[in-house]
Structure 1
Amino acid sequence: MQQQLNVTSEIGRLKTVMLHRPGLEIEHLMPQYLERLLFDDTPHLPIIQKEHDYFAQQLTNRDIEVLYLDVLMKEAVQNQDARQYFMHEILKDGLENLDGSYDSVKEYFQSLEGDELVSIVMSGVPKSKIPKSKQVHLHEITNEHYPFYLDPMPNLYFTRDPAAVIGNGLSINRMYEPARRRESIFVDTIMKYHPRFRDAQTQTYFSRNDVYSMEGGDQLVLSSEVLAIGVSARTTAQGIEKLASEVFKQNNTFKKVMAVEIPKKRAYMHLDTVFTMVDYDKFTYHPGIESEEGGLNIYILEKTSEEGEFAISRKSDLTSALKEVLNLKEITLIPCGGGCPIAAAREQWNDGSNTLSIAPGVVVTYDRNTVTNKVLREHGIEVIEIESSELSRGRGGPRCMSMPLVRENL
């Protein structure tokens, strides 16, 4: 069945979402290479899977269709053209890390069935997978070298970042960190070759081969007319201009992009780690992103022509900017940790502001953020808590772990 992508808000009732259940790639995390792979610790696989299964169950309990990245990929690569495309893109992207072993790894890939190919790419390609007789380079036969030809991909369970649905189109993102850059190949392959998506002729606003970085955690669809995008450690101002121009050119409904500059800190990785929409006029935010004077650098990119041109104006107050772009008389900003500097710092680190809205006024959050969850409920928000002792070790919350494909229009 052909699937039409549709996301015209952050809060419209969620109908279809793509997740990735953590797998062997988590077991391939090694303490000495955690920083390289963007982790602070090594999660315990059985527990992180249990917690992720609980998250998925809460979604299916609300009649949300859950699709899994690995299943879609394995179905896509049953098509021989898809398999060759995927293999080529993975090898091309990983060429700089193959250190003269390109041909050996390619031969190994060609020996695998489609399901095996997807699994091994996700979990990483250890050198032990290549026969000793074909390990002819010095780096392959010495013990000091890194043990993988291609790194494991432990960040895959954060499906939000490699691509994002905007309206009926798609942004296939160029990830900032080399450790994550291959992730967008999966969505790219699925959209090109999976029978559910390949005939949809989906508009693409951004490409993984673009020069400037862009990540889905910085992309929020506030309404059918307005996007909010974070100028962050992972998303560049140039990337935002490129995306805005393409959206304005290809999509008739979007009129404005609100670019919000946030501090370039690991704790504030993306816009959605410090700001999310939870109802028609309610938003979570982390007060720590504001300057000492209480302001922000906010830039409104407003469409001026059908060719994608736009004008830029500057704002400093988040409340007034949101009221302006969304045509609201009043809005409510709900502070992470209730505004308490101690609770806010702790709970923001554990993604207290990273809520996944599944309907207006209904959100999924981590159970560990007790103060923020209490404040959300006090503001009339229904909060569905999920377990998070291991999931949170990857530095991402429920919004990070989900890629909405279809939402009802408001």
Structure 2
Amino acid sequence: MLTIDPQLSESEVTTMFVRNGTAALSRVLTCPPSYLQRAAPINEISKRYANQPLDQTKLQAEYRQLVEIYHQIGVTVEQLTPTTEMPNAVFSRDFGGCVREGYILGRFKKSIRFKESTAYEHKMADLGIPKLGEVVHGFFEGGDFAFLADNVIAIGMLDRTDQTGFDEIKAMLSPLGYQVYPVKAASRYLHLDMCFNLVADHLAVAYVQGLPPDFLSLLSKLAIKLIPVPETAIFKHGCNLESLGHHRVISLKQNQAINAALRSAGMSVLELNAVETLKAGGGPHCMTFPLHRV
């Protein structure tokens, strides 16, 4: 049976970390792209740029622009210190998933990202965010983690999260009252946040034709309206948006049609003018790990 949490008490709000995917964002974890020299050919987007060096000046400017957007709206930005062994750590979303009680540490599939797990685990301990558990047998990356409601979570199973990883996450979250659903889609889309993203409580951007019927049925039951995008938008990071709460969202400046549709739906769109970072395969959602959202 599908249920949704009632309004939480003030004491519950003050002790939680991440209530859902669209409440007011107040604190995030990021990482500068200091050692992202080239786009590693580990996804369909980065393969197109694998033989080209990335422009470091542009990368740093795009990262600073994202941080400045957060500062302007009052979001505290925590930063992981990058190292040469973690070139893709700028995509901080992927090391795990955060809920009310703490976070789950994922397990990367690609060796280029292995070192990030320990670094982010230590950083989360320094920040005082409790670890609820860890995926140790399967694979799970945070780009596949999506709240649909306060106690309803979707886990994408595309290229970087498998059935075993899903089962481990469900076993950790179900006792806490969460309903966890798998979402299977084509591996070329990489992560769920590349083809689906909730931007407000009952509004999402999605490549509808690429999502399974059972997931679309679940979205309908939750009264989530979809802003449809074409498949080509996936590879331009059209769905890789960051909800800020209060009907605000960070989107890419280049995605003008999607941004116009968001504004027509009542969203305030803060545009990130990023191009170089996208070549490595991630956008603003990938670059942001939420720490507090209530």
Normalised by the length of structure 1, the TM-score is 0.64
Deviation at residue 56 of structure 1 after TM alignment: 0.8
Residue matched to 1:7: 18
- Say yes or no: does 1:376 pair with 2:269: no
Q: Deviations over 1:203-254 (max 9, x none)?
A: 42324xx0100000001122221111001110001111111111123x2x32
Report how many residues are paired: 276
- Say yes or no: does 1:269 pair with 2:190: yes
Report the Cα distance in structure 1 between the residues aligned to 2:192 and 2:108, rounded to whole angstroms.
15
Report the Cα distance in structure 2 between the residues aligned to 1:318 and 1:221, rounded to whole angstroms.
13
Question: Contact 1:158–1:401 at 8 Å: present in 2 too?
Answer: yes
Q: Deviations over 1:184-211 (max 9, x none)?
A: 111112234x2x42xx6x242324xx01
Question: Contact 1:160–1:403 at 8 Å: present in 2 too?
Answer: yes
- Say yes or no: does 1:54 pair with 2:15: no
Q: Deviations over 1:73-124 (max 9, x none)?
A: xxxxxxxxxxxxxxxxxxxxxxxxxxxxxxxxxxxxxxxxxxxxxx5xx214
Q: Deviations over 1:143-189 (max 9, x none)?
A: xxxxxxxxxx2211100001221222211110111111221111112
Question: Contact 1:278–1:360 at 8 Å: present in 2 too?
Answer: no
Report the Cα distance in structure 1 between the residues aligned to 2:269 and 2:283, rounded to whole angstroms.
14
SS at match of 1:10: coil
Residue matched to 1:321: 218
- Equivalent residue runs for 1:82-101 within 5 Å: none
Pick aligned residue for 1:43 from 33, 54, 63: 54
Report the Cα distance in structure 2 between the residues aligned to 1:177 and 1:239, rounded to whole angstroms.
15
Pick aligned residue for 2:200 from 279, 296, 299: 279
The amino acid that maps onto 2:155 is I
Residue matched to 1:26: 36
Pick aligned residue for 2:141 from 206, 215, 223: 215
The amino acid that maps onto 1:403 is F
Q: Describe the shift of the 1:4–1:174 C-alpha distance in structure 2 as closer, same or farther (beyond 3 A).
A: farther
Report the Cα distance in structure 1 between the residues aligned to 2:107 and 2:226, rounded to whole angstroms.
31
Identity %: 25
Question: Contact 1:350–1:397 at 8 Å: present in 2 too?
Answer: no
Report the Cα distance in structure 2 between the residues aligned to 1:391 and 1:35, rounded to whole angstroms.
14
Deviation at residue 37 of structure 1 after TM alignment: 9.4
Pick aligned residue for 2:133 from 192, 198, 205: 205
Deviation at residue 319 of structure 1 after TM alignment: 3.8
Q: Describe the shift of the 1:379–1:190 C-alpha distance in structure 2 as closer, same or farther (beyond 3 A).
A: same
Question: Contact 1:163–1:187 at 8 Å: present in 2 too?
Answer: no
Report the Cα distance in structure 2 between the residues aligned to 1:233 and 1:37, rounded to whole angstroms.
9
Question: Contact 1:222–1:277 at 8 Å: present in 2 too?
Answer: yes
Report the Cα distance in structure 2 between the residues aligned to 1:168 and 1:403, rounded to whole angstroms.
15
Residue matched to 1:293: none
SS at match of 1:49: helix
Structure 2 unaligned blocks of 5 or more: 1-13
The amino acid that maps onto 1:206 is E
Higher helix share: 1
SS at match of 1:63: coil
Across the aligned residues of Structure 1 and Structure 2, the Cα RMSD in angstroms comes to 2.1
Structure 1 unaligned blocks of 5 or more: 71-118, 125-152, 291-295, 297-315, 337-343
Report the Cα distance in structure 2 between the residues aligned to 1:156 and 1:37, rounded to whole angstroms.
15
Residue matched to 2:169: 243
SS at match of 1:212: coil
Pick aligned residue for 1:230 from 156, 163, 170: 156
Report the Cα distance in structure 2 between the residues aligned to 1:11 and 1:389, rounded to whole angstroms.
25
Report the Cα distance in structure 1 between the residues aligned to 2:15 and 2:55, rounded to whole angstroms.
37
SS at match of 2:226: strand
- Say yes or no: does 1:333 pair with 2:246: no
Question: Contact 2:252–2:271 at 8 Å: present in 1 too?
Answer: yes
